[in-house]
Amino acid sequence: MLLYALNEVAGDETRASLTPDTAKKLAALGLDVVFEPGLGGGADFSDDDYTAAGAKPMPRDEAIPAADIVLHLTPPPAELIRRMKRGTLSLGFLAPFPIHLGPGDPPAETAEKARLDALVEAGLTGISVEMMPRSTLAQKMDAISSQANLAGYVAVTLAASRMNKILPMMMTPSGTISPAKVFIIGVGVAGLQAIATAKRLGARVTAFDTRAEALEQAESLGAKALRIDLGETGATDQGYAKELTPEQIAKQKAGQAKVCAESDIVICTAKLFGRPAPRLVGKDVVSTMRSGAILVDLAAETGGNVEGVVPGEETVTENGVRLIGHRRLECLVARDASAMFANNLANFIDHFWDKETKTLKYDPEDPILKGATLTRDGQFVNKHPAFGKS
Ligand code: NAD
């Protein structure tokens, strides 16, 4: 079987879906591993590193019609999908939700619907890593978590590098510097890593989440949990937060306003699976923050937690607050992000690999495949309701 990894290094995308390490592992399974030249350029892997690991460079036009498995980060465009063989496995992010709102993106519904329709029409098996079940068994394939973990770390180090203050307390003969105050809104995978990173750097951390267990986890990392009585909240079967009512959001905003105003850094990571992110920090609250304070919005790409944040950009408000809306913070640590992402894909292939026939086994009843398959045999297996029933 021929496995091809697309080179997508462009703009703010620096990661690769295959590393020399995973190329070696996949070749050892019996796959012919080929890659598009320049694949690892954004993560400082050279073409020679890949060839030394047993992979072969091949131009896209030659490889695409021949590949049985195509690895990618971003969803391949419709015209590329249509050039793949029927039955090819397209493995990577497939953007199965109509909520990508970045500047310069074509209107979400049209671009993404065209891509999804192309997957169906071309008869590809589309495995969307966004839809990987959050189960213990699938953890090693969970790219949302592996990337969120790194984004949480980068959110803190980036904020620290932009700030005119240090994070730890310092008591010196020249004076005492009190620790920076960091407020984390949303304590999922990214939020927990942001707490751990800010604590390691010596900051005083407060955290809020609508899920009670997330607040307990925040406390176990040494953060102070902000408790706001919102009435009934909770999580879906997959562990994702349930959407709040407008009344609950208003209560949350009021309950966290004072903490925001007193913080040097606010990091927002609150997301809703497959839905636009909730708007949790308004301009009124940003205007109460001190000049030089930093707000990082990890949800900028899906609508933003913070009013006024521009996806993909850093801006400064009239009162001197820096709003950071970078779309994929993990791309700033491309080497580690590529290693984790490539491992997730290689683990998926290894998990479903039949060593005797040297092919992928596909059992439609397997819970991982049932959850993560977007399209197969010319049909949608799972489909976001916003894309309609047909
Ligand atoms: P996410 O990216 O969807 O959301 C980030 C966080 O935002 C979540 O903790 C969510 O509760 C929170 N949030 C949503 N609305 C909010 C609001 N109004 N105010 C404050 N916070 C809000 O979530 P995620 O990080 O991908 O994961 C969520 C949870 O899924 C994890 O904490 C865990 O319980 C579960 N999970 C399980 C596995 C596994 O079992 N393999 C792997 C990863 C995650």
In-domain check, residue 147 = no
Q: β-strands 322-324, 373-376: how paired?
A: unpaired
- Quote the ipTM score: 0.94
Q: Are residues 288 and 307 in the same domain?
A: yes
pLDDT tens column, 139-174: 999 999 999 999 999 999 999 999 999 999 999 999
- Among protein residues, the one whose CA lies closest to atom 37 of ligand 1: 134
Give the orientation angle of helix 189-200 with respect to helix 212-220, to 10 degrees: 20
CA 38–ligand 1 middle distance (angstroms): 35
Q: Are residues 50 and 72 in the same domain?
A: yes
CA distances from 348 to 255, 264, 318, 342, 343 (A): 42, 41, 48, 10, 8
The answer to whether residue 275 is catalytic is no
In-domain check, residue 158 = no
Tokens linked to 339 = 């290693």
Using an 8 Å Cβ cutoff, are 211 and 270 in contact? no
Q: Are residues 167 and 207 in the same domain?
A: yes
Strand partners, 13: 10
Q: Which of 17, 90, 128, 145 is catalytic?
A: 145
Residues 6 or more apart whose CB falls under 8 angstroms from that of 18 comprise 5, 26, 33, 35, 39, 40, 50, 55, 71, 342, 345
Q: Are residues 284 and 204 in the same domain?
A: yes
In-domain check, residue 237 = yes
The answer to whether residue 327 is catalytic is no
In-domain check, residue 148 = no
pTM above 0.90, yes or no: yes
Q: Are residues 174 and 306 in the same domain?
A: yes
Say which CATH number the domain at 267 has. 3.40.50.720
In the chain, which residue ranges form alpha helices assigned H by DSSP?
20-29, 47-52, 60-63, 78-81, 108-121, 143-162, 189-200, 212-220, 246-262, 283-286, 334-351, 367-372
DSSP secondary-structure letter at 13? B
pLDDT tens column, 10-39: 888 999 999 999 999 999 999 999 999 999
Q: Which residue range is the domain that position 267 belongs to?
A: 163-327
